[in-house]
Amino acid sequence: MQLNNVFKSLLLAGTLFLSCKEDKKVEEKKAELDKPNIIYILADDLGYAELGVYGQEKIETPNIDLLAKEGMMFTQHYSSAPVCAPARYMMLTGKHAGHAYIRSNSEWRERGAVWDYRAMAKDSTLEGQGPMPKNTVTLAHKLKDVGYTTGIVGKWGLGAPHTHSVPNDMGFDFFYGFNCQRQAHTYYPLHLYKNRERVHLANDTIAPNTKLEKGADSNDPKSYANYTLTDYAPDLMFHEITNFVANNKEKPFYLYWATPIPHVALQAPKRWVDYYEKKFGDEEPYLGEIGYFPHKNPHAAYAAMVSYLDENIGKLVRQLKDEGIYDNTLIVFTSDNGPSYAGGADPKFFESAKPFRGEHGRGKGYLYEGGIRVPMIASWPNKIKGGTKSDLPSAHYDMLATFAEITGFETPEVSDGISMLPTMIGRKDQQKHDFMYWEFPSYGGQVAIRMGDWKVVRQNLSNEKPATLELYDLKNDPTEENEVASEHPEIIQKAADIYERERQTPELEHFKIPLIENGLIAENND
């Protein structure tokens, strides 16, 4: 009798245990289903106004424009830096440039012939950029902690092969694309990487900056045959994107699509180039005077790259809908910095940064609005109201905090971003930045600070020319034409106080800015 009661008690306890276990599984599954998939698309050198929805009149981007129509368009979103590597680092770590380890492109030249394309092909230890510290915590790490499968397809640029700073050691379950930014200067490379291993492609060795053959007719399409080879890297990358989505649709995933487009060289699918040749008509060939590869129809080729990217974004959205996961997917589209002026790119022709200026000195590489103001669109069905706009000042380094609030992970102790989620979903509790900070040791050495509508810009901090001290009222002078520093010493002092409080001395010597490190900037502030 007693044994029977004991047996019943054990059976009941076991049943309750199994029931609790099953309930826990159900709750865990429900939590997974509540977490959206996140696709973060980072274009490369795409200007603020190179999308139709941002005012572009020559390049057609119907699929990206549709994302804006179905989601929210941000009009005051910024890159964290005016060039590739630091912008990507700050997005992944949530740090502004005053706290960042990576503050410019870092080609790690002491290894040897890092700019020799053929040498890199033979010796993988010459590839890649300088690594992040081993203890770096990235957005991908944090998303993995809360159950996400993480993938990056495209361009890395934050640590060379054979170092601890490759994507698979920095929080990503899957990687396919260019490890090295310099290798990405051709869209027909000799190899890409799949996770840690090289994938060799059926392309000839045509090194970046190869000019037309001597005596070639620049008006003859046959003269440019060497620059269109067999395996087009963006095609291969998009194939891996579709596979990643198909293979991971049952659980929440984070896909960082770091497309190299439209960074020059000018190489695009022929059908798109032909389309824009008909649209634009005859044009002057680009002969490679400012690097990369020549092209018979440079404007057509540049527009073709952007429209090709737009076409693939449309295909990805269609796949998400076909897989039944579109409604539970947040898509963020943006760019890593302002437009380039090299390699045949023509920001004046396309008005790439309109209303800002995107030419040399104002676009990529510079802390004026044309160099750091970038498009950003967020689409999330039933969460973000379609056809909305926001003028919330925000930056790449806000994405970590935003995704933390969406998915439930804790932000790292050192984090400079704010969550943009309240704005995205129409809540009234949106925090705002008291200031935004940029520091860039290259292109002469620069610092910029935005406080409300005021923006301080300092240039020539590397002893090459007299240092500048500039102040602009972005509300009344968004294109930064009227410098008013002498009229507002109180604003300059406020910026100086922020600078003194927020800036940490760079750990790496080549990111230090001479006038700053020598203490002369304080003298210039007087």
Return the number of other C-beta atoms located less than 10 Å from residue 400's C-beta: 26
Assess contact for 153 and 244: CB atoms under 8 A: yes
pLDDT at 34: 80
pLDDT at 523: 53
What is the SS3 assignment for 169-230? HCCCCEEEEECCCCHHHCCCCCEEEECCEEEECCCCCCCCCCCCCCCCCCCCHHHHHHHCCC
pLDDT at 40: 99
Q: pLDDT digit string (tens) for 245-274?
A: 999 999 999 999 999 999 999 999 999 999
From 276-285, 387-396, 516-525, the region with the lowest mean pLDDT:
516-525
Euclidean distance between CA atoms 305 and 263, whole angstroms: 9
Tell how many helices (H) and how many strands (E) occur in the chain.
15, 15
Assess contact for 143 and 39: CB atoms under 8 A: no
Sort strands 72-78 and 373-379 into parallel, antiparallel or unpaired.
antiparallel
Q: Across residues 455-459, what is the average pLDDT?
A: 98
Q: How confident is the model at residue 425 (pLDDT cuts 50, 70, 90)?
A: very high
Exposed (0-12), middle (13-18) or buried (19+): which is 276, by Cβ within 10 Å?
Answer: buried
Assess contact for 333 and 43: CB atoms under 8 A: yes
CB environment 2-20: b (16+ within 10 A), e (fewer): eeeeeeeeeeeeeeeeeee
Assess contact for 371 and 359: CB atoms under 8 A: no
Q: Helix crossing, 298-322 with 62-70: angle to 10°?
A: 50
Share of the chain above pLDDT 70, in %: 92
Q: pLDDT digit string (tens) for 291-305?
A: 999 999 999 999 999
Assess contact for 200 and 188: CB atoms under 8 A: no
Euclidean distance between CA atoms 362 and 48, whole angstroms: 13
Q: Which residues contact 16 (CB under 8 A, 6 or more apart)?
A: none
- Strand ranges in 26-173 using DSSP code E only, listed in sequence order: 37-43, 72-78, 149-155
Q: Across residues 431-459, what is the average pLDDT?
A: 98
Does position 436 have pLDDT exceeding 80, yes or no? Answer: yes
Euclidean distance between CA atoms 236 and 159, whole angstroms: 22
Q: pLDDT digit string (tens) for 344-364?
A: 999 999 999 999 999 999 999
Euclidean distance between CA atoms 405 and 402, whole angstroms: 5
Q: What is the average pLDDT value for the chain, to the nearest integer?
A: 94
Euclidean distance between CA atoms 140 and 126, whole angstroms: 26
Output the six-digit token pair for 525: 């502030």
Does position 6 have pLDDT exceeding 60, yes or no? Answer: no
pLDDT at 393: 98
pLDDT at 521: 63
Classify residue 123 by its DSSP letter: -
Does position 91 have pLDDT exceeding 70, yes or no? Answer: yes
Q: pLDDT digit string (tens) for 309-333?
A: 999 999 999 999 999 999 999 999 9
Euclidean distance between CA atoms 358 and 370, whole angstroms: 5
Q: How many CA atoms lie within 13 A of 295 on its CB side?
A: 30
Sort strands 149-155 and 253-258 into parallel, antiparallel or unpaired.
parallel
Using DSSP's 3-state secondary structure scheme, residue 332 falls into strand
Exposed (0-12), middle (13-18) or buried (19+): which is 451, by Cβ within 10 Å?
Answer: middle
Assess contact for 65 and 75: CB atoms under 8 A: no
Sort strands 149-155 and 174-178 into parallel, antiparallel or unpaired.
parallel
Give the C-alpha distances (Å, rounded to integers) separating 309 from 59, 67, 259. 12, 14, 8
pLDDT at 248: 98
Q: How confident is the model at residue 413 (pLDDT cuts 50, 70, 90)?
A: confident
CB environment 331-349: b (16+ within 10 A), e (fewer): bbbbbbbbbbbbbbbbbee
